[in-house]
Each structure stands twice: as C-alpha cells, then as structure tokens.
Amino acid sequence: MSGHSKWANIKRKKEKVDAGRGKMFTKIAREIIVAAREGGGDPDGNFRLRLAIEHARSVNMPAENIERAIRRGTGELSEGENWEEVTYEGYGPGGVALLVQAMTSNRNRTASDIRYVFSRHGGNLGEAGCVAWMFDQQGLIRVPKQKVQMSEDEFLMEALDAGASDVQNEEDAYTLITQPADFQAVREAVDKRGIPVEEAEIALVPKNRVTVEGKDAERVLQLIEALEDMDDVQNVYSNADIDESTLETVQA
C-alpha cells in the first residue's frame, strides 16, 4: 500500500453549519437534476444519480427534496432553469493551479463572478486547458478501517481483484484509488462486502503538488473557500500542498 493519503488536499472538505444547509441542498439538487436528465430517474440504472442521492442522504436532505429534483431532471416537473456543467481553470497565490467545476444557467454571469473572486484573492482566471493537464481523473473510495473485517493484506488483494489500481493506508481509513472506468465496479464490490463507504467520488487529482506556506497558504485557502461559497460552484480542486497546522489555523 502507498503512504498516507492527502484526501483533504485533493478536494478541501469543510463541515457546513446549519446556516449553510440551504445552499448545500441547492447544489446537491442541481447534481441530482443533471444526473437524472442525462441517465434517467432510476438510481439502480444510473450510477451518477445513485451517488448524488447518497450524498444528499448523508447530509440529511429531505426525501421530498430529492424526489422533486429527480422529477425535475426527468422532465416530470418544470425545471425552470437549464443547468449545464462548466469547468474553469486558473492560478492562485504561489502559483497554485485551480480547477473549478460549476453548474450554471448563465455562462457569462458565472464566468464574470468567478473571474472577480480569483482577482480579489490574488489569483488569475486562465484559458481552458491552462491547468487541466496537471490533473488526472481518478475514482476515490474511502472506507473506515474498523468496518473492514479482514487483514490489511486480504483487503488489498480483494480491492485489486475488484479493479482498484491502488489502496492508500491512512490512520483510520483505507482509500481505494481507481480509474474512472473501474469506479462503479469497485464501489459495488465494496457494497457487496457490506463495508460502509465514508466518501466516494470521481475527483481531479494533481499529478504533482505545489508547497505553499505562510501568507500564500492563507490566501490560497481563502480563495478556495470564496469559490466554494459561490452558488454556481460545485467542486474546487487544487494542487496546493498545505501543512495541517496552517489548515487548522485558517479554518479556526
């Protein structure tokens, strides 16, 4: 197994307080709408929709909200706005590369808003393709160690047999890494073993990382948080490598 995972640095997660729950529900609803529109309203036959519904349930999104979003995606209810997926690329302080995934009903408005946030926090919005080459798309599946009823070697062999390309051994969890095409099969293999999944996503993982410290690190984190707080932004990925003490200081 490879070394300690930098999951939190691949896509920075943060707990949402109740005041931000409405915005979080809105973003998840958009993901459900687009997933249902593209692959139909049956989660058993639409893996992307299944993941979106699981995400919704993990944050206690009401069942009626989930059902309404599915029906909007399948056209049973009037959607009102036509959401499309757009990716923006740019640089933050210290030369950090950033990829921003958004869902928008107005490309011009969203691009203008994102450009403003980059500029305000010491970054620059770039052209399409300027940083995408620095990232690989990978499936990431994180499971708690205490729920894995087998030895580390046995779990590694089962994961590799299921199609995982690597398993990262963390302090209290294993992170299975897959190619995008193998993500669903590996996830379903974990489910069949009855092992609960803490997180599962197809993420953009940097090929190399840029170490940032001090003021640059603080400004990068502030930029990422400002982007994450935007209504149209779904995910923010970066190649920043920031030590835990700085993360804790800024989050505090």
Residue 230 tokens read as 């935007």
What are the φ/ψ torsions at residue 32 (nearest 5 degrees)? -65, -45
Helices (H), 18-129: 21-39, 47-58, 63-74, 107-120
Question: Residue 80 pLDDT more than 70?
Answer: no
Q: For all residues of the chain together, what is the average pLDDT? A: 87
* DSSP character at residue 147: G
Above pLDDT 70, what percent of the chain? 90
Residue 229 tokens read as 């707080």
pTM value is 0.83
Instruction: Please state, in angstroms and rounded to a whole number, the distance separating the CA atoms of residues 27 and 141.
Output: 21
Instruction: Please state, in angstroms and rounded to a whole number, the distance separating the CA atoms of residues 120 and 3.
Output: 36
Give the pLDDT score at 15.
45
Give the pLDDT score at 235.
92
* Torsion angle defined by CA atoms of residues 143, 230, 227 and 202, in that order, rounded to the nearest 10 degrees: 30
Q: Give the mean model confidence (pLDDT) for residues 219-239.
A: 93
Domains and CATH numbers, the chain: 17-74 (1.10.10.200), 83-252 (3.30.70.980)
Long-range CB pairs of 124-129, under 8 A, 24+ apart, other chains included: 124/90, 124/91, 125/88, 125/89, 125/90, 126/89, 126/90, 126/91, 127/89, 128/87, 128/89, 129/89
**In which band, very low, low, confident or very high, does the pLDDT at 3 lie, cut at 50, 70 and 90?**
very low
Query: In angstroms, what CA-CA distances link 87 with 20, 110, 171?
Result: 23, 11, 33
Question: Residue 232 pLDDT more than 60?
Answer: yes
Give the pLDDT score at 2.
36
Sort 164 into a burial class: Cβ within 10 Å, 0-12 / 13-18 / 19+. Answer: buried
Q: Give the mean model confidence (pLDDT) for residues 24-40.
A: 92
pLDDT tens track for 138-187: 999 999 998 888 888 888 898 999 999 999 888 889 999 999 999 999 99
In total, the chain counts a number of residues equal to 252
Specify the residue for token string 């609803």: 29
pLDDT tens track for 100-145: 999 999 999 999 999 999 999 999 999 999 999 999 999 999 999 9
Question: Residue 18 pLDDT more than 60?
Answer: no
